[in-house]
């Protein structure tokens, strides 16, 4: 039962009766304060000018009309402010929501077909295979995987892809650095000096190509830590493969054919200024070497053939690269809007209130594997996804390692574990849940109970919005609030016990089934586990299960 769509239909019917038609989408939102109703619309404000009426007067007319045929779920309506209409719904709609969620289960609740028959390639991480991933890479990795999960739940066919820059100057310097270190020679100018170079150099087998071996060693390290974070890619796309297939040269020819490139000073340039860039960009240098741009254009053309929609997750240092890539795509006849680029801002690690810039183990930049090992994969993922990626993030290593209320991932996972614990106890004492049709949900009258169902009802909208805005932190925020609602319920309401009426116990047990479903969905979309047992460093104020 989609309450929001039902209300929109009621509003459309009322507008029709008043001789008004809305050419724009009717907007409904949830008031921040529950005292202002369950839903609110600004349609009176939007259509007042067209109706030749004062917004509040139009809203009043709409309310009078709606009251004549409002659905059984609407208990009352009111005009608020300059022309808003607030809808107050009966508890029966909440009970219907709970039943619908439990019937659907975690597999189907909050799932849509919005992206049905549409293919998306989400490309993320794509770090050069010249060393281990660092802590900053973790944010883009967790973000990319989470938006892939959210889009999949919205009906899209999603491919996760890692672009491997396995050729060019940096790869050659990386190989030369490994070779020099292995043979006791000085590392070349501009080469790699990290401690991992010395470590890896000792592992190189005799008579082995350092370039090929080093790349595989780096990719192996990448795959290991990403797997630890519950991130698996569908494809690892090699830049070298495009050289071997000739697709880079083909791309260059295509750009020349559509007059999107030109020669100057012995180099070949992209006419990117014709498509909004601040200057033209070099595709092939005067020595015949490709710049990063040309293989990247070839790669994006390959992706455009494979998917209707491309989503790239790039670091903040790539922000200036967006315009030139869209320019290249547009010059070849593709809509630049098919490429969406999400840019992740910096991550500042913190321990004991101080910024952590260097690893205690290596004295160099902190590797992602160290963060995951210290705080655990669930805490790492949840923390990276706490905030919008367009803000600089402070990652408190101390806090997310503790099992306390203030640690967001612990607070959410403990909400799940305590319900599982209650259900285990129920089984041990012989509690037998009734079939759904026999549970008297009218027993659920406590404000703590109703708040939980309202939050559960919000989840489909939250998932839809998170997918539309590519914003996993909205799931994180919802989970934290939902967990707080659950802990508040436990503080005020008992489920099992001689002092709980059997009919109320059955209703509350069913409510907990619904809460479990919401928690499972939210945690899965963030890629974190749902543990059935947990211990804690401090007591969370609650009532007995």
Say if residue 431 is in the same domain as residue 491: yes
Please report the pLDDT score of residue 13 as a whole number. Answer: 92
Buried b (16+ CB within 10 A) or exposed e, 463-492: bbebbeebbbbbbbbbbbebbbbbbbbbee
When divided into structural domains, the chain yields a total of 3
- Residue 75 sits in a domain whose CATH number is 3.30.1360.70
Q: Is the same domain home to 380 and 447?
A: no
Q: Are residues 509 and 428 in the same domain?
A: yes
* Residues pairing with 520 in the sheet: none
Instruction: Tell me the DSSP string of 29-93.
Output: E--SSGGG-SEEE-HHHHHHHHHTS-HHHHHHHHHHHHTTT--TTEEEEEEETTTEEEEEE-HHH
Task: Assess contact for 270 and 325: CB atoms under 8 A.
Answer: no
Structure tokens at 534: 């947990």
Q: pLDDT digits over 282-294, tens only?
A: 999 999 999 999 9
With a cut of 70, say whether residue 537 has pLDDT above it: no
**198-250 pLDDT, tens digit each:** 999 999 998 899 999 999 999 999 999 999 999 999 999 999 999 999 999 99
Q: Are residues 85 and 133 in the same domain?
A: no
Average pLDDT in the 378-393 region?
98
- Residue pair 177/191 in contact (Cβ under 8 Å)? The answer is yes
Where does a domain end: 71, 89, 107? 89
Residue 309: other Cβ atoms inside 10 A: 19
Report the distance separating Cα 42 and Cα 82, nearest Å: 9
Token pair listed for 152:
């999949």
Indicate if 382 and 432 belong to the same structural domain: no
Closest CA to 91 of 102, 99, 103: 99
When pLDDT is averaged across residues 444-451 and rounded to a whole number, the result is 95
- Quick check: is 115 in a domain? no
* Domain with 514 in it: 408-526
When pLDDT is averaged across residues 101-114 and rounded to a whole number, the result is 96
Cα distances from 301 to residues 297, 327, 462, in angstroms, run: 6, 12, 33
| Out of 94-103, 396-405, 465-474, least confident range | 396-405
Q: How far apart are alpha carbons 348 and 357 in whole angstroms? A: 8
Same domain for 198 and 50? no
Band (33; pLDDT cuts 50, 70, 90): confident
pLDDT tens digits, 126-177: 999 999 999 999 999 999 999 999 999 999 999 999 999 999 999 999 999 9
Read off the pTM.
0.91
Do 56 and 82 contact (CB within 8 A), yes or no?
yes
Q: pLDDT > 90: what percent of the chain? A: 85
**Helix axes of 408-428 and 473-492: crossing angle, nearest 10 degrees:** 50
């Amino acid at each position: 039962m989609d309450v929001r769509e039902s209300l929109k239909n009621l509003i459309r019917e009322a507008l029709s009766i008043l001789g008004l038609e809305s050419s724009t989408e009717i907007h409904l939102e949830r008031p921040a304060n529950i005292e202002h109703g369950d839903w609110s619309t600004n349609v009176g404000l939007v259509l007042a000018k067209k109706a030749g009426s004062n917004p509040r007067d139009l809203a009043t007319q709409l309310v009078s009309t709606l009251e004549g045929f409002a659905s059984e779920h609407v208990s009352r309506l009111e005009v608020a402010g300059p022309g808003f209409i607030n809808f107050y719904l009966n508890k029966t709609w909440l009970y219907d929501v709970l039943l619908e969620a439990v019937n659907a289960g975690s597999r189907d609740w909050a799932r849509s077909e919005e992206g049905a028959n549409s293919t998306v390639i989400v490309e993320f991480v794509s770090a050069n295979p010249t060393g281990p991933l660092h802590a900053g890479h973790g944010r883009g990795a967790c973000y990319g995987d989470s938006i892939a999960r959210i889009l999949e739940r919205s009906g899209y066919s999603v491919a996760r892809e890692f672009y491997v820059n396995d050729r060019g100057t940096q790869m050659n310097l990386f190989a030369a650095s490994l070779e020099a270190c292995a043979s006791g020679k000085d590392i070349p100018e501009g080469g790699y000096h990290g401690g991992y170079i010395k470590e890896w150099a000792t592992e190189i087998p005799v008579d082995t190509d350092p370039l090929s071996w080093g790349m595989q060693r780096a990719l192996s390290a990448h795959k290991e830590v990403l797997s630890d974070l519950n991130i698996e890619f569908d494809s690892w796309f090699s830049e070298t493969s495009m050289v071997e297939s000739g697709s880079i040269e083909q791309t260059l020819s295509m750009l020349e054919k559509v007059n999107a490139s030109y020669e100057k000073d012995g180099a070949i340039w992209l006419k990117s200024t014709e498509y909004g860039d601040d200057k033209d960009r070099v595709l092939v240098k005067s020595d015949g070497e490709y710049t990063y741009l040309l293989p990247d254009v070839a790669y994006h053309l390959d992706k455009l053939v494979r998917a209707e929609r491309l989503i790239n997750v790039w670091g903040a240092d790539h922000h200036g690269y967006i315009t030139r890539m869209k320019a290249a795509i547009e010059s070849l006849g593709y809509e630049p809007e098919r490429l969406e680029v999400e840019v992740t801002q910096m991550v500042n690690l913190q321990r004991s209130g101080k910024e952590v810039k260097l690893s205690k183990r290596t004295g160099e930049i902190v590797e992602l594997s160290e963060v995951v090992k210290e705080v655990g994969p669930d805490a790492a993922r949840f923390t990276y996804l706490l905030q919008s990626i367009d803000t600089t993030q402070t990652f408190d290593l101390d806090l997310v390692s503790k099992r306390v209320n203030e640690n967001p991932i612990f607070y959410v996972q403990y909400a799940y574990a305590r319900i599982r614990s209650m259900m285990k106890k129920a089984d041990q004492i012989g509690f037998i849940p009734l079939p759904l049709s026999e549970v008297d949900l009218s027993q659920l009258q406590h404000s703590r109970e109703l708040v939980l169902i309202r939050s559960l009802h919000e989840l489909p909208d939250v998932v839809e919005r998170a997918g539309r805005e590519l914003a996993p932190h909205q799931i994180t925020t919802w989970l934290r609030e939902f967990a707080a609602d659950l802990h508040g319920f436990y503080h005020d309401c008992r489920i099992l016990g001689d002092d709980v009426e059997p009919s109320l116990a059955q209703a509350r047990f069913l409510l907990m089934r619904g809460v479990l479903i919401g928690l499972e969905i939210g945690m899965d979309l963030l890629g974190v586990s749902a543990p059935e047992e947990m211990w804690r460093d401090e007591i969370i104020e609650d009532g007995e299960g």
